[in-house]
């Protein structure tokens, strides 16, 4: 099977798996990450097939939707790629990327050794920013049962992945705990440039949000 056919089949596989996801980790998110990653890969001269597969499959292996466990979902991705007769070396590269992709807390480093992985991580993080990022955050915050905003609850800069995973705060705080930090954690020059505008959209949104919350309170 040629690589284009495998990518098309993988899109369908992901579409089926994420069809009922209402948390912003849906098929349209996977498609956007795939498109952003392809764009960065072209500019950065990277192996596009590994990047496209990992970008599409990222949310199938998300710890948040697998009881915090990666093993079963990693195995399902592996089985899928084997069914598509994808080379073992490529499967290993894709799995390595998926296992290292996630944000793990403000004070936790998330090193990504390969250029391919760095590009997928950048693309996934770019889709967490800007207007799309704002919309996704409120969708997921609601699904977690978090309040939108409570000035009595302060943002936390997490020192470990365990603390980050267990944390229940507010959705506005998530901007300070993760989203506003992403601009400075991009790997590639291309992503750093793309991140600036999306960062500013979030800063402007938070300023306006704050102003509306403060108005008439005194």
Least distance between ligand ADP and beta carbon 5 (Å): 27
Out of 10, 51, 103, 190, name the contact with ligand ADP by CB under 6 A. Answer: 103
Buried b or exposed e, range 2-20, using 16+ CB within 10 angstroms: eeeebbeebbebbeebbee
DSSP code at position 149: -
Q: Does 124 bind ligand ADP (CB under 6 A)?
A: yes
Q: Does 96 bind ligand ADP (CB under 6 A)?
A: no
Q: Does 140 bind ligand ADP (CB under 6 A)?
A: yes
Which of 11-19, 36-44, 76-84, 130-138 is the region at the interface with ligand ADP (rule: CB under 6 A)?
130-138
Contacts to ligand ADP from residues 164-193, by CB under 6 A: 171, 174, 179
Any idea of the CA torsion for 53, 7, 14, 117, to the nearest 10 degrees? 10
Which of 39-47, 141-149, 184-192, 197-205 is the region at the interface with ligand ADP (rule: CB under 6 A)?
141-149
Q: Does 34 bind ligand ADP (CB under 6 A)?
A: no
Nearest to 14 by CA among 77, 70, 84, 69: 77
SS3 for 53-116 is HHHHHHHHHCHHHCCCCCHHHHHHHHHHHHHCCCCHHHHHHHHHHHHHCCCCCCCCCCCCCCHH
Angstrom distance (rounded) from CA 10 to CA 53:
7
Q: Which one, 83 or 151, has the nearer CB to ligand ADP?
A: 151
Angstrom distance (rounded) from CA 175 to CA 2:
41
Contacts to ligand ADP from residues 37-76, by CB under 6 A: 62, 64
Angstrom distance (rounded) from CA 121 to CA 117:
6
Q: Which one, 3 or 132, has the nearer CB to ligand ADP?
A: 132
Q: Which one, 84 or 181, has the nearer CB to ligand ADP?
A: 181
Q: Which one, 3 or 176, has the nearer CB to ligand ADP?
A: 176
Q: Does 105 bind ligand ADP (CB under 6 A)?
A: no
Residues of this chain that interact with ligand ADP (CB under 6 A) are 24-25, 62, 64, 101-103, 124, 128, 133, 136-137, 140-141, 144, 146, 171, 174, 179
């Amino acid at each position: 099977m040629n690589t284009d056919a495998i990518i098309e089949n993988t899109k369908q596989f992901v579409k089926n798996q994420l069809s009922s996801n209402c948390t912003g980790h849906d098929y349209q998110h996977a498609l956007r990450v795939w498109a952003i990653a392809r764009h960065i890969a072209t500019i950065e001269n990277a192996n596009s097939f590994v990047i496209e597969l990992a970008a599409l499959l990222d949310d199938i292996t998300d710890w948040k939707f697998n009881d915090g466990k990666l093993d079963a979902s990693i195995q399902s991705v592996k089985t899928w790629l084997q069914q598509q007769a994808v080379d073992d070396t490529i499967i290993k590269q894709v799995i390595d990327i998926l296992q290292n992709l996630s944000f793990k807390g403000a004070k936790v480093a998330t090193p990504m050794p390969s250029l391919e992985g760095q590009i997928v991580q950048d693309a996934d993080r770019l889709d967490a920013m800007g207007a799309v990022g704002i919309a996704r955050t409120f969708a997921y915050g609601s699904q977690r049962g978090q309040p939108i905003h409570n000035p009595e609850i302060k943002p936390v800069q997490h020192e470990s992945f365990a603390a980050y995973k267990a944390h229940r705060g507010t959705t506005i705080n998530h901007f300070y705990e993760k989203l506003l930090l992403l601009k400075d954690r991009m790997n590639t020059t291309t992503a750093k440039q793309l991140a600036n505008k999306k960062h500013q959209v979030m800063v402007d949104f938070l300023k306006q949000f704050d102003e509306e919350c403060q108005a008439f309170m005194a």
